[in-house]
Structure 1
Amino acid sequence: MKQVPALAEYKVLERLLDEGSPDLRCQHLCDVHLGDQCLPIQAYCIGNPDPAVPAVGFFGGVHGLERIGAELVTAFLASLVSRLRWDSSLHHMLDSLRVVFIPLVNPGGLALGTRANPRGVDLMRNAPVDAGAAAPPLLGGQRISPKLPWYRGAADAPMEVESQALVDFVEREMLCHAHSISVDCHSGFGLADRIWFPFAHTAKPIEHLAEMHALCQILDQTHAQHRYVFEPQSRQYLTHGDLWDHLYRQASARGNCMLLPLTLEMGSWIWVKKNPRQLFSRRGIFNPLIEHRQQRVLRRHMAWLDFVMRAAAGMQRWLPSQAQRAWHEERALNRWYRHGVLAA
């Protein structure tokens, strides 16, 4: 295996842990071995661990090539750590909220500059969820070979260590809370910034469609000028093995918790259009390469992450009552699903 550089992100996270102590705590989840390197997957936790309060989680680096996702999550964590010294309102919020981070879900992929992990498995096609024949060939997940993109892993194999670490952590640290929201940060080769929610494996609506519409509504009302396309992933394409579909179904099966999983897909064509030379760089297709543009991207999307954290803290104020659920469901169906026949 070729020599790969050490990840500078670890030094940044080590510094943030030191600056955020004792409020910020670190959990070691597992190790990924890459040549002679041992790359830890670590989670960072802050706020009230009481299951009675809501939880919110931020995740990045699931696809190693999409480095901007890990950088965004790390930048948001750094912002919170810096505010711990002076922001009394943040401390008040953290009394009633649990906040967790895994900035580097796929450190091996980040080190190699690949979408997949070092074993060639796409972690977002790796969960035990099947979409059926409606998923597009290859893109929806394939078991032909790890040398081709979107490889799911062998049919009889357990999940990859990175996938399992993420699933175990969310089940342990978030699904013990009655209400939680997650944001998984990616970049996608598109013209718009998108916020996706489950399902990815079917076009059928999720059980908590009313709650998801209520969240979208307060985003539209609070940030009226936002340019996010908020929609179920199934409106774009179906995939096998989506980790957040799997975790949403795990949460729903418990019956005593509600997880609202969101995926931020930053539209990388916006950056490429302004700097077409990025097309000739594998990294440039998915990440802003010019410093001032990267800073602009981080500023824009950190506002979205801050909104999600505040929405999680104030869930009881905007979650629809039983009497309001039918109203939200009807509008959600009209907005997202009645463009075509619901598919299995």
Structure 2
Amino acid sequence: MNPLLPSRNTLPELQLLENLLDRAGSAVRAECVLRVPLHGRELPVWRLEMGSTAPDAPVAGFFGGIHGMERIGSQVLLAWLESLVSRLDWDVSLQDLLQKVRLVCLPMINVGGLALNTRANPAGVDLMRNAPVEAHGYTAWPLGGQRLSRHLPWYRGEHRLEPEAEALIRVVRESMLHRPFAMAMDCHSGFGLRDRIWFPWARSREVPPHLAEAVALRHIFNSTYPNHDFYLMEPQSLNYTTHGDLWDYLYQEHLDSGDPGFFLPFTLEMGSWLWVKKNPRQLFDWFGHFNPVLPHRLKRVLRRHLTLFDFMLRATASWEQWLPQQEEARRAYRLAGLERWYPRGG
């Protein structure tokens, strides 16, 4: 039996998270940033931090559970955090690494949606369509976000940020912006037969300002882990554009601020169609459209992305060694990105 399958009266991810906090003790700095009322309970949204508290330390942020139905995003983050906490007892290299870098994590942002097993939050709002960002050009309706009805998918809400979105924005502003270097990884599922790593924009098919840096990160990952070629890294807008993307909102805010520091958010889209292809019976279960159901496949997915998360943490700590800072290097990486993703100009 799969112990992480949801049931009416339990939220297994929250139990895993609270058990992890008990085990970690002072190694993890934990704060409840929001309480979501639901069915007579108040469900906590936890912010976890590890590592350096220096204001100039680079920051790696990991996020999951923005879409409650995509529970695997929270589950893979919790599996990785469990690994980190266990390694702290004996892994001197990890202890040294965390002296140099700050780790910020919101593993269960839409805790109400997780409890209800819905994509949207308890108010019916899709949090990734909720930010005050309007897409440029054509956007497929309703996929790109709609305000017609909360009873239809991809509902944006009524021109205000939902509490969960406000909590995420507040944590990113406090912990990640205005730092020399910060990267975010937001974990989702439910798109295609490949695991994709997306970077801004979601709102526009324009060439993103940090195309060169995204190409540089892709290069060092592929060079370091050539057997992990199951990831397809690309701009999100190559697939579709949307209104209201929270990461576009934060990314644009950082650009507008004129801050000289670096901030770039990524989204991991786990290819859930592959799980359905291997187990077609999942088509008859809405939960199975977005999550691995069979126990052996769940274990495989939980360990599949540990290398990627470790890489993101180490790349953040060592950002000065690979980030292109000379104009000549940036121009070369940008040209490589244009040739790969924008062959008709950009």
Q: TM-score band (shorter)? A: over 0.9
**CA distance in 2: counterparts of 1:95 and 1:251, whole angstroms:** 26
Q: Which residue in 1 is equivalent to 2:76?
A: 72
The correspondence for 1:315, drawn from 319, 322, 346, is 319
Name 1:172's counterpart in structure 2: 174
**Alpha-carbon offset, residue 307 of structure 1:** 1.2
1:88 pairs with 2:92: yes
Provide the TM-score with structure 1 as the length reference: 0.95
Which letter maps to 1:207?
Answer: P
**Cα displacement (A) at 1:31:** 1.0
Alpha carbons 2:338, 2:345 under 8 Å: kept: no
Which residue of the partner structure matches residue 251 of structure 2? 248
Alignment of 1:237-316 (within 5 A): 237-254=240-257, 255-316=259-320
* Structure 2 unaligned blocks of 5 or more: 1-6
Q: Using the alignment, how far apart are the partners of 1:176 and 1:153 within structure 2?
A: 29
Q: Once the two structures are superposed, what CA deviation does each residue of 1:280-310 show, in whole Å capped at 9, x if it has no partner?
A: 0000010000001010011111211111111
Alignment of 1:15-94 (within 5 A): 15-94=19-98
User: Which segment drifts farther, 90-99 or 308-317?
Assistant: 308-317
Give the aligned residue type for 2:170: D
Q: Which of the numbers 89, 113, 116 marks the counterpart of 1:112? A: 116
Runs of 4+ more than 4 Å apart: none
1:209 partnered with 2:211: yes
Q: Give the equivalent residue in structure 2 for 1:147.
A: 151
Residue aligning to 2:333? 328
Q: Report deviation, 1:5.
A: 2.1
Instruction: Choose the corresponding residue for 2:128, options 124, 130, 134.
Output: 124
SS at match of 2:26: coil
What SS class does the counterpart of residue 22 from structure 1 fall into? helix
Shift of residue 341 of structure 1? 5.9
Deviation string 1:169-212 (CA, Å, 9 cap, x unpaired) is 00101113210111000002311110000000001122221111
Paired amino acid for 1:127: A
2:200 is equivalent to residue 195 of structure 1: no
Higher mean alpha-carbon deviation, 256-265 vs 102-111, is at: 256-265
RMSD: 1.3
* Structure 1 unmatched runs, 5+: none
Give how far 1:225 is off: 2.0
2:238 pairs with 1:231: no
**1:4 deviation in Å?**
4.7
Deviation at 1:133, TM superposition (A): 4.0
Structure 1: how far apart are the matches of 2:171 and 2:260? 18
Aligned length: 337
